[in-house]
Amino acid sequence: MTNISSSVDEPLDVPLSLRGPASTHAVVGFGFWLFLLSDIVIFAALFATYAVLSGATAGGPTGAELFDRHHVFAETLCLLLSSFTCGLGSIAAQRGDRQATYGWFGVTALLGLCFLYLEFAEFSTLLAQGAGPTRSAFLSAFFTLVGTHGLHVAAGLIWLVVMLAQIATLGLRPMVQNRLFCFALFWHALDIVWVGVFTIVYLGATP
Amino acid sequence: MTLSTQAQGTAPGETAVSHGSWRTYLVGLLFALILTGASFWAADTDLVYPAGVPILLGVLAIAQMGIHIVFFLHISSAPDQTNNILALAFGIFVVGLVVFGSLIIMGNLNHTDMPMHEMMQMQR
């Protein structure tokens, strides 16, 4: 990363207004950070919807009857470990070590796939029990919130595959580095949202 | 890159030391694992007064989000991170407004509005 933005070597006593534009890397990162925060605001609206509707089961099954905590714990571990390997992948990419980058991001993709598989398994079990999104307001809110997170993970996986292809074809040039860096931010943010999901949706469901 | 070379702040997720920062991720992973384990333990335990469990879960979740922000996203209170931290503060403000605002308003409506079946009985 040293090659991206250390060209400006100003002493710190130069006023902020005279220091010129920020490096591309800082601007890209800040812009993506703003996008992530607005994405989290979307999730906040879905969390609020779920919290309001979580008791509206319309005589149908409640969360405590439906959710399997061991299953959710496995999902949580997949996502947490994938966040960790994503971090190690970013370090490898910064070092310019292609093999390690492929390796760590490959593991990240596999763990993300595991997470999605577990989520699909859970959803299909619920649907088989007749507890689909049309059963009650509670289940509508549940499928919207958890499904939106799952869609984000799926989009992240597609992005990751595209990034691996770009590393293969373009190499770890600064442009690709910036994109990888944004992907890592996205992936870590999804893990933060998942902390809210498993706490409020799954652990919050008390009999 | 060193912090002094940054003209207008650094991007979130950017570490001052590029080498050896896998330790940051490892520490973050350990903290996150401990807090996740504590959350799943707290949800099932009899050791905690039942009415206090949701509060404990909330505290653990906020702690884990903080761990993720500091150790994985590398947001810190360093002077060159002012932009990022201000955006984060605004994000948290909007999230709080949306979530607690919705809960308060809907709780209030549930409290003051008459349930439908009672309304039907009064019209008889």
What ipTM goes with this model? 0.85
Of A77, A94, A199, the CB nearest to B57: A199
If DSSP codes are grouped into helix, strand and coil, which group holds residue B3?
helix
CA distance A77 to chain B (A): 8
Chain A hits for B32, CB-CB cut-off 8 Å, are 80
Single out the residue of B66, B28, B61, B35 nearest to residue A196, CA to CA. Answer: B61
Residues in chain A: 207
Chain A hits for B1, CB-CB cut-off 8 Å, are 1-2, 4-6
If DSSP codes are grouped into helix, strand and coil, which group holds residue A22?
coil
What distance in Å separates the CA atoms of residue A73 and residue A165, rounded to the nearest whole number? 32
**The pLDDT of residue B7:** 47
**Tokens at B84, concatenated:** 């990022």
Q: Could you say which residues of chain A have pLDDT below 70?
A: 1-12, 207
- Determine the residue of chain A that is closest to B1 in CA distance: A2
Single out the residue of B93, B60, B71, B37 nearest to residue A188, CA to CA. Answer: B71
**The pLDDT of residue B48:** 87
**The pLDDT of residue B33:** 96
Domain spanning A69-207 has what CATH number? 1.20.120.80
**The pLDDT of residue B81:** 84
Residue written as token pair 């384990």 = B37
Chain B hits for A87, CB-CB cut-off 8 Å, are 22, 24-25, 28, 72
- Determine the residue of chain B that is closest to A10 in CA distance: B5
**The pLDDT of residue A12:** 63
Q: How many CB atoms lie within 10 A of CB A158?
A: 9
**The pLDDT of residue A5:** 43
Q: How far are the Cα atoms of A10, A44, A190, B28 from residue A84, in angstroms, in the given order?
A: 35, 24, 13, 8
Secondary structure, 3-state, A147-161:
HHHHHHHHHHHHHHH
**Does residue B39 contact residue B71 with C-beta atoms inside 8 Å?**
no
Q: Going residue by residue through chain B (124 aa), what tens digit of pLDDT does each one get?
A: 444 444 456 677 665 444 448 889 999 999 999 999 999 999 988 888 888 899 999 999 999 999 999 999 988 888 778 889 999 999 999 999 999 999 999 988 888 876 767 777 777 6
What distance in Å separates the CA atoms of residue B72 and residue A54, rounded to the nearest whole number? 31
Single out the residue of A70, A111, A71 nearest to residue A89, CA to CA. Answer: A111
How big is the CA angle at A69 (ends A67 and A75), to the nearest 5 degrees? 100
**Residue ranges of the domains in chain A?**
69-207
**The pLDDT of residue B62:** 95
**The pLDDT of residue B63:** 96
**Tokens at A112, concatenated:** 């993300």
Question: Are the beta carbons of B95 and A88 separated by less than 8 Å?
Answer: no
> Whole-number mean pLDDT of chain A?
90
Q: How far are the Cα atoms of A68, A88, B106 from residue B101, in angstroms, in the given order?
A: 30, 39, 8
